[in-house]
Homo-oligomer: A and B are copies of this chain.
Amino acid sequence: MKSRKVSEHTTNRLSVYLRCLREFSAQGTATVSSSELAARAQVNPAQIRKDLANFGEFGVRGVGYFVEGLKSHLIKILGLEKTYNLAIIGAGRLGTALADYYGLVGSNFSVVALFDSDLSKVGGKVGGFDVFAFQDFASVAEKCKIEVAVIAVPGSKAQEVLDKVTQAGVRAVMNFAPVPLKAKRGVKLKTIDLTVSLESLSYFLSEKGTGDAVADEGGIGRGA
């Protein structure tokens, strides 16, 4: 066990490991070595051991890791024992798609509300979720205990939305607006910029560069 300074790369990978362990579990495997897990997660075995070493010693030398045991350790480490209430700001195309998506994906995140500043949408339902006026965010957020916000508004409004949302006490924000935002200290902001991703692909297409696989999310290591 080491210090308490874990990088985002590491937490991303932990999430991937967890998913792999669930697969091993489903197929009835009892133990895995770091190499076996590494093969499935597309990482270096040492990477896995180093990542885990941040949190304790979970393996048995000469044997490997007990699938169920490591699985529940990771669930605990990632804070996935509880369910988080999630709000989506922006009930446009992307917002509603994300609502659908997140509504299904995991049991750990539950979409509780959508917000929009277009009052013609407010009061109605989108994809089965209530749409509230964004100006009421603070009060609704308190009532519904919203812990995570997803920003799906145009770039020009994104910073303003982030400010209001964090003002209301939300400490984790996922931003899909194509702008570099500035969050105040103590707030975790993740930006996923679909345009940047595409334009970056464009570069490699036009360069005819030796395109090796790269994962932006999911924390896969250097290309093989």
Residues of A within 8 A of B (CB): 6, 8, 11-12, 14-16, 18-19, 40-42, 77-80, 82, 84, 93-94, 96-98, 100-102, 104-106, 108-109, 147-148, 171-172, 174, 178-183, 185-207, 209-220
Q: Is the CB of B192 within 8 A of A197?
A: yes
Across the interface, which residues of B come within 8 angstroms of A174, CB to CB? Answer: 197-198, 201
Copies in the assembly, this chain: 2
Across the interface, which residues of B come within 8 angstroms of A209, CB to CB? Answer: 6, 188
Closest 8 CB pairs of A and B: A79-B206, A97-B97, A188-B211, A42-B180, A15-B199, A191-B215, A193-B218, A193-B217
Task: Name 12 extra pairs, CB < 8 A, besides A78-B206, A193-B215.
Answer: A8-B200, A12-B200, A15-B193, A79-B203, A93-B101, A101-B194, A102-B198, A109-B202, A148-B205, A182-B213, A187-B211, A189-B214
Instruction: Please name 11 pairs of A and B residues whose Cβ atoms are closer than 8 Å in the assembled complex, sorted by A.
Output: A6-B203, A14-B199, A18-B199, A78-B200, A80-B199, A93-B100, A93-B101, A108-B198, A188-B204, A194-B217, A196-B218
Across the interface, which residues of B come within 8 angstroms of A220, CB to CB? Answer: 180, 191
Q: Is the CB of B188 within 8 A of A201?
A: yes
